[in-house]
Amino acid sequence: MCKQVLDEVMIMEIGLKHKKEITVTEKDTALAYGSGSLEVFATPAMAALMENTAMNCVAPYLGEGETTVGTLLDIKHLSATPVGCTVSCECELTEIDGRRLIFKVTASDNKALIGEGTHERFIVQAEKFMSKTKTKLD
């Protein structure tokens, strides 16, 4: 008698959450990014952290060959964070509309909320997406 083991199907649904923490280093500063002249956590670094957190939130729920791409980021950077502080980013999937995903995103340091907003991602077939993108080189 053979025992058949079926893979557990993971279903993406509204309310999924994910969290990621980083320690701010010199490479994360506005000075390093060229987005400012101070050694504080850069807005582009915060944006990248928010996108990465959202991407990783849904990655386990995607099919073979699928990934997500960011298409819209509407955020506010509310407070400066110095090098050496920990920044914690949280996201929550708030809307699913076909391949379109909407997330609430927040970032905090050890003292306060430093950023908040929304982020939109689309589910795409990675190979097809890259093939189409590379036609711009022709």
The catalytic residue among 77, 81, 90, 120 is: 77
The catalytic residue among 18, 29, 51, 120 is: 51
Distance CA 30, CA 45 (A): 8
Q: 3-class DSSP state for residue 17?
A: strand
Which tokens sit at 109?
């340091």
Contacting residues for 128 by C-beta, under 8 A, at least 6 apart: none
Q: Does residue 51 carry a catalytic annotation?
A: yes
Q: Does residue 119 carry a catalytic annotation?
A: no
Other CB atoms closer than 10 Å to residue 91's CB: what's the count? 27
Give 15's DSSP letter: T
The catalytic residue among 39, 43, 67, 116 is: 43
Cα dist. 66→38, 49, 98, 111 in Å? 39, 21, 14, 37
Distance CA 91, CA 19 (A): 7
Q: Does residue 133 carry a catalytic annotation?
A: no
**Active-site residue numbers?**
43, 51, 77
